[in-house]
Structure 1
């Protein structure tokens, strides 16, 4: 039995007319009749009742039609899954993100991608913007989530969203109620990102403080936004963080005041290689763009 036998059978079973089925299959009627006879002989079952007036399915034919249709649906599903695996040759898709990105969206992305591409192994890496750019150029990751700027001729970027900035402080130690009180923080200890780890972000934080009329006394540094927030919670200083961080930290000990007067925003972008046309990359980017 060959696949063509099943295709010919389905055509006749759906049309219940050999002439129409032959036209649908772009073959003549005699070869079609011979193929159906061969199929019946092979499975040793009569599938059609034929007379001069009409063609009908036997009970065996009705059952066979149902099962063959199911078989073709399964074959189509297998073909699609195989195509998706082939689009990512290694069977692995690597996504990098910076620590200051709201993690719920990343978790939802992975769950969504696993459902869409069940045979691909998805891996997450927390990496700084500069290291992501280098890793992407070297083919070590497939998709990056970074804060701009991105300076690389090999990379294409898509703006995901723009993020503001907020002061974060320990409410048991610091008493401020609004943006107008920011200058009161000029003598406080600050916790910032390490200048070598995130130079652009470090400069932005200094610029923010300058706008409010002071130079921060940076005593502690970290390369991870969650560590910075934890240091603030532990009373070791205050910090300025992306406003989205407040979504992840509903701790009663922490206070957040958004800095709106300065009107300074940071671009969060999705990056991939310019020659990357994989369906997985497109699906991931489309999903995240719909989340904003």
Structure 2
């Protein structure tokens, strides 16, 4: 039994007419009849009942048609998989992200990506913006989720959103009035990112504090957002961080207080090389 026998059988079973089936297959009717007869002989069953006026499937023929349709469906699926592999729609997608990104959103997008490209393996790398830029330029990352500024002629930049800043204090601290907030935090030790790790964040912190009339005393330097917030929760100091983190770390015992009168924000971006034609990367960019 060869694949052509199954193809011929399916066509006759669809048309229920040897003449029309032969025309669809671009062969003469007698050779088609011989191929069907060979198939029936090999199976040891009649697949069709034939008369001068009509052709009909037998019970065995109807069952065999379902099985043949399943074979061709599986073959088509295999062809699609092979094309995906050939078109680099499988393999690895390397994604960089900053610790302050809302990771639940990233997880949701990766779940959807898995449904579209089931053979893609995703690798996630938590990196500061400066390190991500270098990795993207060198091809060690396919895409980065980072914060502006991104000074690189090699990378294409796409804005995701603008993120204002909020003061973060232990949950026991109740502050509402803006003047009261400034007075409270200027006399408290600050917990913040190391300047070499996140220079842009450091500049933003200084700008905000200058607008509030003081210079912060950074006592604890940490390179991870979660660790900064845990130290605040423990009562070791205060910090100023992007507002989007409030949703991500809602379970920590800290208060996020808006800075409504200070219009300083940070821009969250996607960065990638436009020369990278990976289809899964394109999908990720369009859907994040």
TM-score scaled by length of structure 2: 0.89
Q: Distance in 2 between matches of 1:51 and 1:191?
A: 90
Q: CA deviation at 1:28?
A: 4.2
1:92 to 1:58, Cα distance in 2 relative to 1, 3 A: same
* Residue aligning to 1:113: 113
Q: Distance in 2 between matches of 1:60 and 1:41?
A: 13
1:63 to 1:233, Cα distance in 2 relative to 1, 3 A: same
1:71 to 1:222, Cα distance in 2 relative to 1, 3 A: same
Q: Distance in 1 between matches of 2:90 and 2:223?
A: 31
Q: CA deviation at 1:109?
A: 2.8
* Residue aligning to 1:278: 278
Comparing 246-255 with 8-17, greater Cα deviation is found at 246-255
Q: CA deviation at 1:253?
A: 3.0
Q: Distance in 1 between matches of 2:10 and 2:190?
A: 74
- 1:237-282 Cα offsets, whole Å, 9 max, x none, are 1111111111122246311012232233322222222122222212
Q: Distance in 1 between matches of 2:34 and 2:261?
A: 82
Q: Distance in 2 between matches of 1:137 and 1:25?
A: 53
Gaps of 5+ in 1: none
Q: CA deviation at 1:38?
A: 3.4
RMSD of aligned residue pairs (Cα, Å): 2.3
* Residue aligning to 1:244: 244
1:206 to 1:31, Cα distance in 2 relative to 1, 3 A: farther
Alignment of 1:160-199 (within 5 A): 160-172=160-172, 174-184=173-183, 185-199=185-199
- 1:208-246 Cα offsets, whole Å, 9 max, x none, are 222222222222211111111111112221111111111
Q: CA deviation at 1:26?
A: 4.1
Q: Distance in 2 between matches of 1:179 and 1:84?
A: 56
Q: Distance in 2 between matches of 1:165 and 1:20?
A: 72
* Residue aligning to 1:42: 42
Runs of 4+ aligned residues of structure 1 deviating over 6 Å after TM superposition are none
Q: Is the 8 A contact 1:84 1:279 kept in 2?
A: no
Q: Is the 8 A contact 1:114 1:122 kept in 2?
A: no
Alignment of 1:1-292 (within 5 A): 1-88=1-88, 91-172=91-172, 174-184=173-183, 185-251=185-251, 253-288=253-288
Secondary structure of the residue that 1:164 maps to in structure 2? Answer: strand
- 1:58-78 Cα offsets, whole Å, 9 max, x none, are 222111110111112222223
